[in-house]
Amino acid sequence: MAQRTILLIDDDPTLLELLSDHLRTAGYGVRTAVDGVRGLHAATESRPDLVVLDVMMPGMDGWEVCRQLRERSSVPIIMLTAKGEEFDKLRGFRLGIDDYVTKPFSFTELAARAGAVLARASNASSASHCVTSGDLTIDFDERRVTVDGQVVVLTPTEYRLLETLARHPHRTIPTETLLEQVWEQSMPARPSMSALYLDAPQKDRGRPRRPKHLIAERGFGYHFE
């Protein structure tokens, strides 16, 4: 397997040096950037497998870097920051991060979290043509959904919504993002609308509907389990 590359974006040069050494020892290739602007440029130039991103940086902070990265790429992101309040974590997940590590932290723990995030991303990529979860199978090439081997008839909108979530398993996607990606236009968040469509792909013939594969994160969004 080719060496995975991690891009570190942080304005603390000492932390960058120490963390770089630890990740290289763990077998990763490492690139660094000392601010958000350089970090975005490095992400575009080097196309890393993972970005570890600090929040509090002068000029362009980590929130803005994350937002712009998500407009350009689905690269996994671990947010690294001293801000550990729930509000900040939710803000990060709303922007599409994959994990959140608060300072101070263990280099060994961060390396382990990086490995876990990369493994999830790799599994999602290898299953890009077909996803199976319990009795549910989604064939992206055929645009076909089956439950217990029986085809489930979905509307085009229901299918697009299910596909959007299934291509990013375990990652919570905000309702607003789902509306924009599925309906392909900017729309105000209307949870009742998304809940209506999200219920449809979960229906099992002759059995009550229940959130078996599509899980709601109350007040935030949904993820495919």
Residues 12-69: tens digit of each pLDDT? 999 999 999 999 999 999 999 999 999 999 998 889 999 999 999 988 999 999 988 8
pLDDT at 98: 87
Residues 121-178: tens digit of each pLDDT? 776 655 557 777 778 888 877 788 888 888 888 777 778 888 888 877 777 777 777 7
Taking residues 189-202, what's their average pLDDT?
46
pTM metric for this prediction: 0.60
- Could you give all domains of the chain from N- to C-terminal order, each with its CATH number? 5-126 (3.40.50.2300), 130-224 (1.10.10.10)
CA distances from 91 to 41, 127, 179, 193 (A): 23, 29, 18, 23
With bands split at pLDDT 50, 70 and 90, how would you rate the model's confidence at 10? Answer: very high
Among 125, 96, 133, 116, which residue's Cα sits nearest to residue 221? 96
CB under 8 Å to 104, separation ≥6 — which residues?
Answer: none
